[in-house]
Structures are given as structure tokens and as C-alpha cells.
Amino acid sequence: MTHITTRLVRPARLRFILVLLILVAGSVLTVSGGPASHDIRPGYGVTDLRWLSDYLPALAGTPGDSPVYVMEGKEEGGTLLLLGGTHPNEIAAVMAAILCVEQGEVSQGRVFVIPHTNNSAARYNDGTYNPTSPQGIDLITASGETRHFLYGSRYTQIEDQKVDPEIFVHEPSGLEFDGIEARNLNRNHPGKADGTLTQQISYALFQLVEQERVNVVIDMHESSITSRLANMVVAHPRALDIGAMATLDLEMAGIIMKLEVSQEEFHGLSHREFGDYTDAYAFLLETPNPGQERSIEYPDVVNDPKAPLSHRVRTQLRTVMAIIENYTLIAASDQAIGIEFPFSIDELEGANLGEFLR
Amino acid sequence: MRRRSLFILIACLILTALLTLPTLAQETEEEEPAVIAFEQPVLITSIGQSAGAAQAKILAMRAGLDFVYEQRASLDDLEGMKALIVVMGASGKGLGAAGVDIDAEIEWATELFDRVRELEIVIIAMHIEGSSRRGPMSDQINTTFAPRADYLIIKGAATEEEAANIDEAANGNIDGLFTTIAAENEIPIAFVAKTLDVVVVLEDLFPAKEEG
């Protein structure tokens, strides 16, 4: 009897182990071969789903491909490209983009939202700057469901791109950076069609801006809490007036955002290159993330008392709205952009962000 | 006869009153603070190459000023100007972009101020970017040029009591630097809690010209 049992169990165990191995191998293959997927639940405002590979086919099936959520208003107008997750560890930027996809509605014009702009970097957290920062965050929705969101890395995963050079030379400026910056999307703009994965992601973004005639690009980021960049709007020189008007309006609403003009030597950065290489007004936003502070061990990137996630997401979205409102003031009436939410963005302050998600 | 005397008495009283009233009015006016009004057009520029001057440009637009904005003005830009607004605040990146260091910036701004004095143009110095422009480099600019201004506009708290009600990041006068400079140099100073409040100060300083 025992013998029979043994005979029955062994193949089952083997089969289980085999299946497990296939699943693990399969998932690894999927992970390293294709784009990571995320729990994003588009709302009624999303009218079309595209991929970055629609703008550069070479990205299809690679970890660098990423969904592009298109939100088109009933009234024709201008076009906004809203980027989250250029650095997917800058989680307020990712969550602000996801909230926009899940709850935003566009009344005029079009909004293209990419929550994980560098989707390779979004796959896991390599611990840059703070090895004790999390691999993901859990948020509880109004219905009590727990939703999980990945907290990624600053850099394209090393296994997705060839070994870092000793010195990374930005193209086309020739500016030199540390080798690791070859995997930093925000040092690779305007990208290269046949370049590295990071350069290809950038190139696809620039193709999108050109083909869709984007008027405004907003690249959402976070910095460490003590960085001078914390709570800042960086505007391309052509966009400086809009940035100045937006920061003045924000201050009246109690949101203090410093304003900085993008300098010419900032080659490879979005606020510089989208402004230089396209007709779009380019902005980069920064909120302070405790997860990027080296001195904080096991940072609570959701409920930090000084910089809770809901507060940072509110700052990001209020700033986006202020930029769009002031862009609309100077744009031709048929190029205006209007975004609405079914709640006041200020309600995010002190609230549980999960309750605003679907 | 009595009626005629009464009439003369009342007439004298009225005359005395009419002659006295302007003096009283003048005395009352003298008790009011002097109204400061500057002339336009205005040149707006930065000392320190921060983005504050770009905000000042928007504030001037909203105040309806007749102005020219040059992030780093030249002496030639002063031609025809009646007032100069300088926004004080050092940005390392901004200075780098202009190809200068802080010493060169101070040298250039000193030249600008000297020329402004020769031309008898008034200078309004603004500090509107809060505590982020109170570092050592910015304070080199603040302490050099604020004492040479004719009027100061500062975003921040005038007193320690007010400081309790203002965000630390928005308070450019957290240590009372500008209060001291204004007092020591007898410079009128206006404090604003928010940058957009500068619009009202500018409207007061540059009254709209009468039409026709």
C-alpha cells in the first residue's frame, strides 16, 4: 500500500514541480521578454489604448514597451502628453498618472497618459539611492479591495540593456555622464531609433509628440525630501511664462512650487529636449519622496507624516491643472485643453489615495 | 441796524472759516503718510539669474505696467526707462547658463546700479522667491543691492508674529534681514504674504495715467 502510495505521489510531486518550473520560467521569460503589466483600470475618460511600440515598432514585445492611454474630449482642442514613471520609483508621479487614467475625463482636446514611461525600470526596485525602499505599495480602495502597485527603479533594468559603458555619451550633444546614466531615460532624450532600449523608449516618445502634434509635455518626477528640487516646476525657456503663471496660481491655493528655467546644458532631460526638438511646451515636476532619501531606513512612501503619498499626488495633479489652465490662457481657443475629475483634487489632501481609485 | 450787524458778523465768521479750512485740511494731509508713486516705463531684470524675474514679468503684466523684461539687462536697456525693478535671487544653474559666476554678477549689477543713479532712475528691489533664495550666494546679492534700492518688495513676514502664519519656504525675511536693511537705510518696504500680492503693490506704486 505504501509502495503504491509512493508511486502515486512521486509523479504528482514531479508534475507539480515541473509545472511550477515551467510557470516560473515562463514568467521570467515574459518578464524579461515583454513589457510588465500593471493593475490599471481605465475609466470612462479613456477612449483608446495604444502602445509606445505604435510609435516605434522595434519596441514591440520588449520590456520597454508600455501602454499609452488616450483620453479624447468631445470638443476639439490641444494635446497634452502626461508622463509618469520616467523613474518608476518616483511613485507619486506613477500614481498621479494612474489616477488620471482611472478617474479623469477630458472635456476639450486630447490627453495621452503613460503611467510607466520606462516600463523596464518599473518591473522591480533595484534599490538605487535607498536599498530599504519598498518593492511595491498596497492601497485600499473605497470597496475595501487591496490594490498592489509596483515601486520600480530609476534605471532601465540592467538585464534589458547591454552592459553600461564606462562613460555614457549623450547623443547628439556629446555630453558625458557616468556609465549608469545610459539606462536613465531622463538622460537619453531625444533618443535614437536603433539605439539602446532606453534610447528607443525616448525616441518613441518623441515620435508620439511629433505625430500627435502634442502642445504640452509634462514629465512628473519626485526627488528626495531634502533635495533642492523638491516641490519644483522646471520649465523650458519657451514655457517659462506658463510656468510662472502656474506657480503664482498654485501659491494662491497654498501650494508652493519653486520655478526653475531649464538650462541649455541640461541635455538629455525631458524639459530641455522636448522643448528644443519639438514645438511642445515642456515641463518637469518634482515632489518630495521619502523613499528617495538615503538617510531614511525602510521609508513609508505612502503614509510618511511629512510627505504622504496622497499629498504628493495632489501636488502633482494640481500643478498639471495649473499648467494646463495657463497654457489654455495663451493658446488659440481651438487648441485649449480641459481635464476634469469627479472630485476636487484638493480632497486628496489627508485622504487615503486608494479611495479615489477604481 | 441790528440785523445789518448780525449779517456782517455771520459773513465774517464764514470768511474766517473759509480761510482757515484749507490750513486745517493741509494739516490733516500732512499727517497722512507720503504717497509714493513712480513713473513708467519700467525695466525688469534679475540679479542672480533665478526664475523670479520671470514671475515679476507676469506680475507686471497683471498690474498693467508699461515694461520691458530682460533676464540680464544691459546698460543700453536703461534707455528711456523711468524705473528699474530688480529681482534678487541667485541660481547656480542660471548663473552658469549666463556664463558668469556670482562675483561677475555682482560686478555687472553694480555697474547697472551706478548707471541707474546717473540717470536718476528709481530702483525697486524685489525678493519674491522665499527662503530658497536666502542661501550664501543669494545673500551676497541681497546685502549688496537691497540697501541701494529706493523701494523694497519682500515676500515674507514683517514680524516674528506674522512669521508663525506663513510657510517657512515662502518667508524670505525669516531672520529679519530685509527689515534691518530697510530701517538702517530708511528705505520704504512692502511685505507680501503671497507673490501675487505684489500686483497690488505695483498698482499702487505705478498709478495708471489719466486718459486724454
- Provide the residue range defining the domain that includes A38: 3-356
Q: Which candidate from A248, A249, A256 shows the least CB-CB separation from B170?
A: A256
Question: Which residues pair with residue A149 across a beta bridge?
Answer: A137
Contact B55 A251 (CB under 8 A): no
Question: Is A129 exposed, middle or buried, given 0-12, 13-18 or 19+ CB atoms closer than 10 A?
Answer: middle
Predicted local confidence at residue B168, as pLDDT: 85
Distance of residue B107 Cα from the nearest chain A Cα, in angstroms:
23
What is the DSSP pairing of strand A67-72 with strand A48-51?
A: antiparallel
| Residues facing A281 on adjacent strands | A216
* Model confidence at B29: pLDDT above 90: no
* Domain contains B21: no
Residue B27, in any domain of the structure: no
Report residue A29 as a C-alpha cell: 521569460
Cis peptide before B22 (omega within 30 of 0): no
Q: B112 lies in a domain?
A: yes
Residues of B in contact with A264 (CB under 8 A): 97
Residue indicated by cell numbers 506658463: A242
| Residue B149, domain member (yes or no) | yes
Going by the DSSP 8-state scheme, the letter that residue A111 receives in this structure is: E
Domain that holds residue B186: 42-205
Domain CATH number, residue B114 = 3.40.50
Per CB distance under 8 Å, which residues of B are interface residues toward A? 50-52, 54-55, 57-59, 91, 93-94, 96-97, 129-130, 132, 167, 169-170, 194-196
- What pLDDT, in 10s, does the model give residues A80-101? 999 999 999 999 999 999 999 9
**How much helix, strand and coil, in percent to the nearest 5, is found in chain B?**
55, 15, 30
Between B13 and A213, residue with greater pLDDT: A213
The model's confidence at residue A112, banded by pLDDT at 50, 70 and 90, is very high
Which residues does chain A have within 8 Å of residue B58's beta carbon, measured at their own beta carbons?
241, 244-245, 248
Total tally of structural domains belonging to chain B: 1
Residue numbers in B near A261 (CB within 8 A): 51, 54, 94, 97
Mean pLDDT of the region A115-119: 98
The residues on A that touch B, with CB distances below 8 Å, are: 228, 231, 235, 240-241, 243-245, 247-249, 251-252, 256, 258-261, 263-265
Q: How far is it, in rounded angstroms, from Cα A227 to Cα A234?
A: 14
What is the number of structural domains in chain A? Answer: 1
Non-local (6+) Cβ contacts of A307 within 8 A are: A225, A287, A288, A289, A290
Question: Is there a domain that residue B188 lies in?
Answer: yes
Nearest to B97 among A247, A249, A263 (CB): A263
**What local confidence, expressed as pLDDT, does residue B9 receive?**
54
Please report whether residue B160 resides in a domain: yes
- Mean pLDDT score across all residues of chain A: 91
Nearest to B54 among A244, A256, A265 (CB): A244
Residue of B nearest to A231 (CA): B169
**Angle A332-A336-A341 from CA coordinates, rounded to 5°:** 165
Give per-residue pLDDT as tens, A245-273.
999 999 999 999 999 999 888 899 999 99
Residue of A nearest to B155 (CA): A251
Chain A residues in contact with B128 by the CB 8 A cut-off are none
Q: Is the pLDDT of residue A29 over 90?
A: no
User: Three-state secondary structure along B112-179?
Assistant: HHHHHHHCCCEEEEEECCHHHHCCHHHHHHHHHHHHHCCEEEEECCCCHHHHCCCCHHHCCCCCCHHH
Count of beta carbons in the 10 Å neighbourhood of residue A305 = 7
CA atoms A235, A240, A245, A248: torsion sign: positive
pLDDT tops 80 at residue A78? yes
Question: Average model confidence (pLDDT) for chain B?
Answer: 87
Say if strands A105-114 and A75-83 run parallel, antiparallel, or are unpaired.
Answer: parallel
pLDDT given for residue A60 in this prediction: 97
Burial environment of residue A235 by CB neighbours within 10 A (0 to 12, 13 to 18, 19 or more): buried
Over residues A216-233, the mean pLDDT reads 96
* Chain A CA closest to residue B53: A244
How many other CB atoms are found less than 10 A from the CB of residue B16? 10
Q: What is the CATH number of the domain that holds A325?
A: 3.40.630
pLDDT at A31 over 70: no
CA angle in degrees (0–180, nearest 5) for A65-A231-A299: 70
Q: Do the domain assignments include residue B90?
A: yes
Phi/psi of residue A299, nearest 5 degrees: -65, 145
The answer to the question of residue B85 being in a domain is yes
